[in-house]
Amino acid sequence: MEDCQVAMTRQIVGGVDTHKDLHVAAVVDEHDQVLATQSFATTRQGYKQMLAWMRSFGELQRIGIECTGTYGAGLLRYMQAADISVLEVTAPDSTDRRRRGKDDDMDAQNAAHAAFAGKRTVTPKTRDGMIESLRVLKACRKTAVAARRVALQLIQSTIVSAPDDLRDSLRKLTRMQLIRTLAAWRPDLSDYRNVATAYRISLKSLGRRYLELHDEIADLETMIGAIVNELAPALVSRNSIGQECAAQLLLTAGDNSARLGSEASFAALCGVSPVPASSGKVTRHRLNRGGDRAANSALHIIAIGRLRTDPRTKTYVAKRISEGHSKLEAIRCLKRYIAREVFTLISQRRTEINRTPSIA
What does the radius of gyration of the chain's CA atoms come to, in whole angstroms?
A: 27
CB 274 within 8 A of CB 328: no
Close Cβ partners of 158 (under 8 Å, ≥ 6 residues apart)? 199, 202, 203, 206
CB 101 within 8 A of CB 94: no
Beta bridge partners of 64: 15, 87
CB 255 within 8 A of CB 119: no
Close Cβ partners of 121 (under 8 Å, ≥ 6 residues apart)? 64, 87, 88, 89, 90, 114, 115
Close Cβ partners of 232 (under 8 Å, ≥ 6 residues apart)? 246, 250, 345, 346, 349
What is the three-state SS of the chain?
CHHHHHHHHCEEEEEEECCCCEEEEEEECCCCCEEEEEEEECCHHHHHHHHHHHHCCCEEEEEEEECCCCCCHHHHHHHHHCCCCEEEECCCCHHHHHHHCCCHHHHHHHHHHHHHHCCCEECCCCCCCHHHHHHHHHHHHHHHHHHHHHHHHHHHHHHHCCCHHHHHHHCCCCHHHHHHHHHHCCCCHHHCCCHHHHHHHHHHHHHHHHHHHHHHHHHHHHHHHHHHHHHCHHHHCCCCCCHHHHHHHHHHHCCCHHHCCCHHHHHHHCCCCCEECCECCECCEECCCCCCHHHHHHHHHHHHHHHHHCHHHHHHHHHHHHCCCCHHHHHHHHHHHHHHHHHHHHHHHHHHHHHHHHHC
**What pLDDT is stored for residue 353 in this prediction?**
72
Q: Does domain 2-122 have CATH number 3.10.350.10?
A: no
* Count of C-beta atoms within a 10 Å radius of residue 235: 23
Round to whole Å and give the CA distance between 277 and 285. Answer: 5
Round to whole Å and give the CA distance between 18 and 42. Answer: 9
**Rounded to the nearest 5 degrees, what angle is found at the Cα of 314, between the Cα atoms of 312 and 316?**
70
Q: Is the dihedral of CA 235, 236, 241, 244 positive or negative?
A: positive
**What pLDDT is stored for residue 349 in this prediction?**
83
**What pLDDT is stored for residue 347 in this prediction?**
87
Task: Give domain limits for the chain.
Answer: 2-122, 130-231, 238-359
**What pLDDT is stored for residue 228 in this prediction?**
94
Round to whole Å and give the CA distance between 322 and 311. Answer: 16
pLDDT along the chain (360 residues), means of 10: 59 94 94 94 95 94 90 91 90 66 84 88 80 93 97 95 91 92 94 94 96 97 95 92 94 79 86 80 72 91 94 94 88 92 89 60
**What pLDDT is stored for residue 292 in this prediction?**
87
CB 23 within 8 A of CB 42: yes
**What pLDDT is stored for residue 360 in this prediction?**
41
* Count of C-beta atoms within a 10 Å radius of residue 59: 12
